[in-house]
Structure 1
Amino acid sequence: MNIKEQIQKIDSLEFELFQQKLELVIEKAYLKGVQDGQTKYNYPPVLTKKDLTEIFQASSSTIDRTVARKDFPKLTTLAGKYPRDEVFEWIKNNSI
């Protein structure tokens, strides 16, 4: 096998490796989307304290303390209602 053929073989192997890596990334993104669909988007766009109790798996007193925080997302026009997407973003930003 001459050098040109060896280079073509290496290029071919590199392309195959790239394809395999790309497929893994796509699969991981798909599985993350499915997981989000089963958890995050399973809830309505506007959450209640009951929803928060399920999401946080915490007692109602813990939820009361959490929603009392100034930085916790709330709907100002509806008492006791919380925007789902902002709540999940808050969890993401406030998790260790």
Structure 2
Amino acid sequence: MFREIIAEEVAKAMQDFRTTQLPPMLTKKQLMELFNIKDTKASQLLNREDFPVFREAGLLIPTHLLFKWIENNTRWINENTDYFKKGVTA
């Protein structure tokens, strides 16, 4: 369920991203706005071992690594679930 929520929010964020320029490093607040998530879910993401966080200068998320992380996790969903196949007719 968590991965489905993230996939939906990423899709929404990608629509907004096309019209918005993002900074090279995101704050937690910017991440929350981008993914349209609350503090608890953002904290869960930031505490994952595989989530890209730069802690040496505070708590920052490198934007380019965030999008690589999204691609890697979306690829996992594609290969291991039928989430993106729902609603597709052949």
Same fold at TM > 0.5: yes
| 1:54-69 map, 5 Å | 54-69=33-48
Number of corresponding residues: 60
Percent identical: 35
State the TM-score, normalized to the length of structure 2. 0.58
Give CA-to-partner distance per residue, 1:11-32, whole Å, 9 cap, x none.
xxxxxxxxxxxxxxxxxxxxxx
CA–CA separation in structure 2 for the residues paired with 1:46 and 1:66? 16
What is the TM-score when the length of structure 1 is the normalising length? 0.55
- How many Å apart are 1:77 and its aligned residue? 1.4
CA distance in 1, matches of 2:17, 2:34: 13
CA offset digits 1:41-83 (Å, max 9, x no partner) = x110010001111221111110000010011111131121110
Give RMSD over aligned pairs. 1.8
Measured in 1, the distance between the counterparts of 2:55 and 2:37 equals: 23
What stretches of structure 1 move > 6 A for 4+ residues in a row? none
The residue number in structure 1 matching 2:25 is: 46
Q: Give 5+ residue unaligned stretches, structure 1.
A: 1-34
Cα distance in 1 for partners of 2:65, 2:24 equals 10
Amino acid at match of 1:46: M
Query: 1:76 aligned to 2:29?
Result: no
Distance 2:22 2:17 in 1: 11
Task: Considering fraction of residues, name the structure with more helix.
Answer: 1
In our comparison, the structure showing a higher alpha carbon Rg is 1
